[in-house]
Amino acid sequence: MSYLWQYDSPLGRITLAANGGELTGLWFAEQKYFGSTLTEKAEEKYIPVFAQSEKWLNIYFGGKDPGFTPPVRLEGTAFRRQVWEILLSIPYGETMTYGEIAGIIAQNSNLPRMAARAVGAAAGRNPISLVVPCHRIVGAGGSLTGYAGGLDRKEKLLALEKGKTNSEKKEGKFL
């Protein structure tokens, strides 16, 4: 059973989904792959994980680092989950490139290299936008590329988080 709730954000309506105790989805209206984790039976009901998620969203859209992550359940292939776990490690206000993430996965998997495009595909299928911050991935040289919620939103989300830069990352932070 999936539970649903709606949240009105400054960047449009957001649909939240949960399995009862964990957030399983968070999508902007009309986002690519909207509802990818929903089960056939979904009930609109306000449950505690939505209260935690709304608190997170209110702090986030207030321009601050929420400092916590609501309980999440990430369902996907082993590779996608690997990418999403790295996304969860990117601090508020910072970015990583697709290539950096591919390099981490290659290193952790003892591979000579990993395609940045594969990372982009996995990030695009992220079912819990914002909380799992796929908007913090940028192209080589910091270019804005790819975001299932739309590049306009990605730009606004990164501007909201303004502050820290890649140069402030500590050595080995993401390894």
Active site (catalytic) residues: 134
Query: 53 pairs with which residues across the strands?
Result: none
Q: Which helix (H) or strand (E) holds 43?
A: strand 42-44
Q: Are 136 and 94 in contact (CB under 8 A)?
A: yes
Helix (H) or strand (E) holding 14: strand 12-18
- β-pair partners for 3: 18, 43
Give CA separation, 59 vs 9, 63, 99, 132, in Å: 11, 7, 30, 15
